[in-house]
């Protein structure tokens, strides 16, 4: 049995019909369907609004298969009324929170207080700060630089280009007109830990590159996805061990990448933290299920990851 705890309608062009076919084809009992709302994106080109109306419709049409979540931008007026309305209609919690605030921002404090009082789950996305390349046109050097700098080569070419520009002056003026500072999402790990401790009523469920880069101790901070040799237990692993209200979902490329780095370590991690991990895909098929199955994890612990933890959190 499977519950996919991280799915979207609208991401990768998935429709409601596509979503239901995915659940049926993979014998998935339920899918947690999440939104993405950011009122004033730091980098608008990087933002993909995932509308609440599509989640409401899917839940109405398939209440036995869909577990709906909604994460409002806490900087927006009336967010509390909108979230409460969704909860009254049967929504399970707050997700996916993917906003460029720090954890100790007063806007975040207000949202966390609300979730804590209701003992609600929160799925959040963490991602490191960096410069993003915003082209003025989709051709020529702009087209090339966008692909070299924005994630495609895992941060390596971005670091090299910025280093050359800084040291030699080549392309410096050109880049200054096109690089935009992206502040990251919900940084950093120290602030996350303080939030976990301060709001014990919230079930925090971590997701995204910054969460999974800290499965081990990061070696090269410029990498978008850490893929170097495992370097001992990182902050994410430690938080799972130390705090009963902190969980993670293994969805997306970031989760798959983290578990692909070292099968022996991945087996140890999933086995030791099996009561704190949720299975999810984020509309992506990298062979995550096959990877987890290949690790030889005890069936009882696999059941926790695949569906029992999700059931325990939302019923």
Q: Find all residues with CB under 8 Å of 31, minimum gap 6, and list them.
A: 3, 4, 7, 19, 22, 23, 65, 66, 67
Cα separation, 97 vs 66, whole angstroms: 19
| CATH code of residue 283 | 3.20.20.140
> Do the beta carbons of residue 145 and residue 161 sit within 8 Å?
yes
Q: How confident is the model at residue 22 (pLDDT cuts 50, 70, 90)?
A: very high
User: What are the structure tokens assigned to 109, written together?
Assistant: 């404090």
User: How many independent structural domains does the chain possess?
Assistant: 2
Domain of residue 79 covers: 2-129+184-314
Q: Are residues 76 and 200 in the same domain?
A: yes
Q: Which two tokens stand for residue 146?
A: 């966008």
Q: What pLDDT score was predicted for residue 221?
A: 86
Quick check: pTM over 0.75? yes
Same domain? For 29 and 116 the reply is yes
What's the half-sphere exposure (Cβ side, CA atoms, 13 Å) at 162? 18
pLDDT averaged over every residue in the chain:
95
Quick: pLDDT tens for 62-104: 999 999 999 999 999 999 999 999 999 999 999 999 999 999 9
Interior CA angle at 73 toward 101 and 309, to 5°? Answer: 90
Please indicate, yes or no, whether residues 281 and 169 belong to a single structural domain of this protein: no
Same domain, 162 and 221: no
* 141 and 21 in a common domain: no
One domain, residues 149 and 190: no
């Amino acid at each position: 049995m499977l519950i996919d705890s991280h799915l979207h309608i609208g991401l990768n062009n998935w429709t409601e019909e596509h979503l239901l076919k995915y659940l049926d084809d993979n014998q998935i009992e339920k899918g947690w369907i999440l939104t993405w709302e950011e009122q004033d994106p730091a980098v608008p080109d990087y933002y993909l609004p995932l509308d609440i109306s599509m989640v409401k419709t899917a839940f109405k049409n398939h209440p036995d298969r869909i577990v709906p979540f909604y994460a409002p931008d806490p900087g927006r007026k009336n967010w509390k009324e909108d979230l409460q309305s969704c909860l009254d209609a049967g929504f399970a919690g707050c997700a996916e929170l993917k906003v460029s605030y720090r954890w100790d921002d007063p806007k975040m404090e207000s949202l966390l207080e609300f979730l804590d009082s209701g003992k609600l789950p929160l799925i959040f996305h963490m991602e490191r700060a960096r410069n993003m390349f915003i082209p003025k046109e989709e051709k020529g050097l702009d087209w090339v630089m966008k692909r070299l700098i924005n994630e495609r080569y895992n941060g390596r070419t971005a670091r090299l280009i910025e280093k050359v520009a800084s040291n030699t002056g080549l392309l410096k003026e050109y880049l200054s007109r096109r690089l935009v500072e992206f502040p990251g999402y919900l940084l950093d790990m120290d602030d996350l830990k303080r939030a976990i401790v301060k709001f014990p009523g919230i079930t925090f469920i971590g997701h995204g590159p910054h969460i999974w880069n800290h499965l081990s101790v990061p070696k090269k901070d410029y990498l978008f996805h850490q893929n170097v040799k495992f370097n001992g237990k990182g902050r994410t692993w430690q938080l799972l061990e130390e705090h009963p209200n902190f969980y993670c979902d293994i969805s997306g490329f970031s989760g798959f990448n983290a578990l692909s780095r070292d099968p022996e370590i991945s087996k140890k991690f999933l086995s030791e933290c099996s009561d704190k991990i949720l299975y999810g895909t984020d509309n992506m098929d990298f062979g995550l299920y096959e990877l987890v199955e290949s690790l030889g994890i005890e069936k009882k612990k696999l059941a926790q990851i695949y569906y029992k933890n999700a059931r325990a959190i939302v019923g």
